[in-house]
């Protein structure tokens, strides 16, 4: 148990629909990250929050993607007007006690039909 839950675990949607994923750290963690992982590849960094401030964003995070962490606890990742290329596993991670440690949740698998 890494101390992170993600919901839903699976999401199937039609192209053009909006989807929202949620990440809930079990306890308070300053650092929170979102990654995307496609089949057969390593996770790719999307964005990083320090408390409620979004401090880093990847170029992968197009205008259709938005992430929030309103109270510095849970976080949401929304994808608008989904495309088939958005099909992937979306992983949330929290920072550990070590400066760079990151612990991943179980992920949300998105399938866009």
Binding stretches for another protein (CB under 8 A): 2, 4, 31, 33, 35, 40-45, 48, 55-56, 58, 91, 93, 95-96, 98-107
Any idea which residue has 């990742």 for tokens? 77
Q: Which of residues 21 and 35 has its CB atom nearest to another protein in the complex? A: 35
Any idea which residue has 């992937």 for tokens? 88
Q: Which of residues 19 and 105 has its CB atom nearest to another protein in the complex? A: 105
In angstroms, what is the minimal distance from the CB of 78 to another protein? 20
In angstroms, what is the minimal distance from the CB of 11 to another protein? 15
Confirm if 49 and 75 have CB atoms less than 8 A apart: yes
In angstroms, what is the minimal distance from the CB of 30 to another protein? 11
Q: Which of residues 16 and 26 has its CB atom nearest to another protein in the complex? A: 26
Cα atoms in the Cβ-side hemisphere of radius 13 Å centred on 104: 14
The residues, any chain, with a CB within 8 Å of residue 59's CB and separated by 6 or more, are none
Confirm if 14 and 104 have CB atoms less than 8 A apart: no
In angstroms, what is the minimal distance from the CB of 87 to another protein? 16
């Amino acid at each position: 148990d890494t101390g992170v839950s993600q919901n839903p675990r699976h999401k199937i949607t039609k192209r053009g629909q909006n989807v929202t994923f949620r990440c809930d750290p079990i306890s308070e963690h300053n650092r929170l990250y979102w990654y995307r992982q496609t089949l057969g590849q390593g996770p790719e960094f999307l964005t990083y929050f320090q408390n409620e401030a979004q401090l880093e964003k990847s170029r992968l995070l197009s205008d259709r993607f938005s992430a929030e962490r309103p109270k510095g606890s849970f976080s949401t990742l929304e994808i608008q007007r989904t495309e088939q290329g958005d099909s992937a596993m979306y992983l949330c991670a929290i920072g550990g006690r070590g400066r760079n440690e990151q612990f991943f949740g179980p992920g949300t698998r998105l399938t866009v039909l």
